[in-house]
Amino acid sequence: MPASDPAPGHAADRALLERAARAAGEIALSFTGDALDVRYKAADGSPVTAADLAVNARLEELLRSAQPDYGWLSEESVDNAARRAAERVFIVDPIDGTRSFIAGEDTWAHSLAVAENGVITAAAIYLPKRDLLYSAALGQGAVLNGVPLRTTLTGTLDDAEVLAPRPVIDSPYWRVPLPPIRRAHRPSLAYRLGLVAEGRFDAMLTFRPTWEWDIAAGTLLLQEAGARVTDRLGRPLRFNARHPQHPGVVAANPALHADIMGRLTLAL
């Protein structure tokens, strides 16, 4: 393999993210009851726990000690504009689905990714309570616990089973009345993306503004599993933006993605 080929670096980053995700799981599972110290963020009222902060600190230590030249973007860290100048950046959600975590459920996840010049090149999503480890490297496929992932081939929304919050099916978003949609939901956005990548659901839709740390890892999983992933307007997702947020996500195999986009009202 030529020395200029970046693939070995992507594979090494994936292995690093996998190790870090498992370490994060050990920390998160050690927090119970009053030790969670649940607080609420002034900006949006979302919960944060002592576990979120402990996981964030450990991930930053592990990842940045391994790759000190990489930038850092995390839900639980104060944003630093220096990340914008970095060629590669870690994009991390220490605990995606914090409300689920607080409730003692098992569908919360650690979501870790590396972006290079706006493109996700390595990813890991780990659900510690289910021991599910999704991971991917650019051009090298996506796996769940070592088993390769592929999306479904369902071609139309009429036949699809979709992961989406209830407001997504409201009429203002669509040009014409929708067929009855088989809809389900999971608290963790990262897990929703993983479920579509492994073919358990046909598509994932969210139309609310969406933070990069929620979708960075899942975007690569899906792309490597054969999906097309865009924002609600059909535009490709680019990461490490100045304001790291996108106007929703539409993720499905290319035929189903095209069918969904053809039905959406874009000018909202």
Per-residue model confidence (pLDDT) at position 18: 98
Alpha carbon dihedral 58, 95, 18, 240, in 10-degree steps, equals: -90
Per-residue model confidence (pLDDT) at position 3: 41
In a shared domain, residues 41 and 163: no
Per-residue model confidence (pLDDT) at position 4: 44
- pLDDT-derived band at 140 (thresholds 50, 70, 90) equals very high
The answer on whether 116 is annotated among ligand-binding residues is no
Per-residue model confidence (pLDDT) at position 1: 40
In a shared domain, residues 71 and 176: no
The pLDDT of 75-80, averaged and rounded, is: 96
The answer on whether 44 is annotated among ligand-binding residues is no
- Report the chain's mean pLDDT, rounded to a whole number: 94
Listed residue (219, 250, 48, 218) closest to 125, CA to CA: 218
Strand, coil or helix: what is 248?
Answer: strand
Better-scored residue on pLDDT, 9 or 267: 9
Structure confidence by residue, pLDDT tens digits, 166-220: 988 887 889 888 888 899 999 999 999 999 999 999 999 999 999 999 999 999 9
Beta bridge partners of 242: none
Structural domain span for residue 123: 8-148
Structure confidence by residue, pLDDT tens digits, 233-252: 999 999 999 999 999 999 99
What does DSSP say about strands 88-96 and 71-74: parallel, antiparallel, or unpaired? Answer: parallel
The answer on whether 61 is annotated among ligand-binding residues is no
CA 44, chain centre distance (Å): 20
In a shared domain, residues 134 and 188: no
The answer on whether 102 is annotated among ligand-binding residues is no
What does DSSP say about strands 142-144 and 132-137: parallel, antiparallel, or unpaired? Answer: antiparallel
Task: Please measure the distance between the N-terminal and C-terminal CA atoms of the chain and give it in whole angstroms.
Answer: 48
In a shared domain, residues 168 and 115: no
Count the domains in the chain.
2
* CATH code assigned at 242: 3.40.190.80
- pLDDT-derived band at 2 (thresholds 50, 70, 90) equals very low
The answer on whether 260 is annotated among ligand-binding residues is no
- pLDDT-derived band at 43 (thresholds 50, 70, 90) equals confident
- pLDDT-derived band at 44 (thresholds 50, 70, 90) equals confident
Residue 3 lies in a domain: no
Domain end: 100, 122, 148, which one? 148
* CATH code assigned at 46: 3.30.540.10
Per-residue model confidence (pLDDT) at position 180: 84
